Amino acid sequence: MMARKCIEKYLETHKSTYIGRYRCHSAVQTKKFEHKFHYYILDIQFKAIDVFVTIDYSGDEIVPTFSVNLHEQEQEYIIKDALNKILYFNQFKTILHCHVFEHFIETHTVDTILEPLDYRNILDYLEYHSGTNQETVDEFYTFFNPYLDRLLYNKNYKKFMDSIALLLDKILYEYEWDGVNAKYLDTEYQFHLEYFKETIKKMTNHIDGFFKSTKDELLEIFERLCQMPRFTLSIIKEFGSFILLNKEVAERLFNHFERLNPDQLENNIVISYLKSLYQNNHEQYIDACEDILRFVMNDVLTFANHDLQKEIGNRILEIEGYDLLIDLFSKDYNTFLFVCFPISTFPPEYKEIMRLELEKAIRFYAARMNHDEYRLTSFEQVANINRLLMEEYKEEYSNGKE
């Protein structure tokens, strides 16, 4: 109680609108009233600059200790962010005491059933000591998966959903870092994708139990996932199957979004995609697929790291074929589409169709160049199309084809 008052007092007396640059990587509790945090930023070369801070809240005042000197505003931002996280942790029950964490992980006691926050803390502990990478995440799931399986076996759906929610609180973030020529999209969830696919498959076998026992929690998590399209589109086959297999789940999800924010429903590419499948509306489905490809294209042009997004786009093309890509180009005439999906990768039967579409596009932009407001963008697109025609159709145009 005294520790909480100490934290709340600090937060109350250090209010500020300043938003710091550093982001929290991980945290471990080292004493009853002490946490250690790892914060970081990425520089313009996308290299991590790390800061470690110890927060002691055992007395009347907060005592922070930083591994490096930062300017006062940045230090204060980190302290407040860390204190808010401590308050968040203290909302939940735990079993594992901070002093036994290392022993528990080394002995790998998977038969012991812990509380949801304990597993979130295990991931934090592993990441604090070993970094955020696939190996660390794989080790975490050697603890987490047997626990989830036990909860399903015992039909403890509430604790299952609480555990997933706490994990999502930890991993469902996206930070954008500015580089010299592009941005870097900093995420952790890519290491968890395959595990989430398997988890959703397991949940599908218990869909009625989840819906009866944890209806609100289910909708809340689905809502969060729909706000993170890069993550959710990467698991859309499993996620979509879970929702669309149960009419009541699907209806409630769509109605939930309509009540929440109708505009959000209209512009949410995950919801649009799922709703088109649910309503079996082919026209809306094609529109949703094309919106996903536009989203992918924008990410590829914006971020230096975009492999995950390209995989999303390639999966759409595997399902719908290259007719979808040609239809999208004929609507938008945006040559940057071929930065994501090079013409050289098109099946041979689509090459001539694509050439004719490029010729239509160059005539369209040539006509627009007569208007001052479109001249610059039209010139860029004309230059891109000319380059594409000469690179991809060199033989045709070297023989004098107009």
Question: Which tokens in the block code for residue 373?
Answer: 């407001």
Residue type at position 280: N
- 189 falls within a domain: no
Give the pLDDT of residue 377: 87
User: Which residue ranges of the chain lie beneath pLDDT 50?
Assistant: 402
Question: How, if at all, do strands 48-56 and 63-66 pair?
Answer: antiparallel
Q: Is residue 67 part of a domain?
A: yes
Structure tokens at 378: 């039209």
pLDDT given for residue 245 in this prediction: 84
Return d(Cα 188, Cα 235) in angstroms, integer: 15
- Hey, is 96 helix, strand or coil? coil
Nearest CA to 211 out of 158, 270, 256 is that of 158
Residue 328 pLDDT: 97
Distance CA 63, CA 354 (A): 65
Residue 252: its H or E element: helix 247-260
pLDDT value for 3: 84
Residue 200 lies in a domain: no
> Looking at 76, 91, 106, which one is the last position of a domain?
91
Sign of the CA dihedral with 157 first, then 158, 161, and 162 last: negative
The reported pTM is 0.92
Count: domains in the chain: 2
Indicate whether 237 belongs to any domain: no
Q: What's the confidence (pLDDT) of residue 63? A: 95
Cβ pair 15, 76 in contact under 8 A: no
From the number of C-beta atoms within 10 Å of its C-beta (0-12, 13-18, 19+), residue 234 rates as buried
Q: Sort residue 220 into left (φ over 0), alpha (ψ -120 to 50) or beta.
A: alpha
Helix (H, G, I), strand (E, B) or coil at 61: coil
Q: Is residue 219 part of a domain?
A: no
Domain-terminating residue out of 38, 59, 91: 91
In a domain, 30, yes or no: yes
Tokens of 369: 């160049």
Whether 6 is covered by a domain: the verdict is yes
Single-letter code of the amino acid located at 88: Y
What is d(CA 176, CA 184) in angstroms, rounded to the nearest whole number? 6
Question: Does 1 map to a domain?
Answer: yes
The whole domain housing 368 covers 342-398
Give the end of a domain, one of 56, 91, 126.
91
Radius of gyration of the chain (CA): 26
In the numeric block, the tokens 């093309």 are attached to 317
